[in-house]
Amino acid sequence: MPRSEGEPAPTVTARNQAGEEVRLTFDEPTVLYFYPRDATPGCTTEARQFDRELETYRDAGVAVYGVSTDDVASHREFCDAEGLEFDLLADPDGDLVESFDVDRRGDAAARTTFVLADGEVQTVYERVDPDGHAREVLLDALEDGLVSLPEE
């Protein structure tokens, strides 16, 4: 069972699609979504939709990261093919999957999303339907007052 709301968020380090080391402490609002495999239909839908909503997430001060057990090269290829503008974190050894207690389907992570802020888990989504999920997470975070959009 994944980490629960109110639990501390672990500090994690992983490599992104460019091979750069990314260290996350989750002090600032962050969406960390785990997905099974790069370039599969559901994962592509989910990634495209997070990318489409990315400007609004950024306007609300929320960072977005995708995580799968695929390696850096796979993430690079997927990001290049889809034109993704957010980081995908490579977790080939399953360290992040384990840190967040995400269920596995074989050697892949089960589709699970965390909204994190102030060093703790704010919201958890399990058994996610990838179509519409990016918008759902954003709207929930705005509705729950976890983030807000700047006044125009």
Q: Which residues are catalytic?
A: 43
Which helix (H) or strand (E) covers residue 14, if one does? strand 12-15
Reference 34, options 88, 75, 107; nearest CA is 88
Amino acid code (one letter) for 52: R
Residue 10, CA distances (Å) to 7, 13, 125, 129 in order: 9, 10, 17, 25
Of 93, 26, 10, nearest to 65 by C-alpha is 26
Query: Which residue intervals of 60-132 are DSSP H helices?
Result: 72-82, 95-99
Token pair for 94 = 């399953």
Are the C-beta atoms of 114 and 31 separated by less than 8 Å? yes
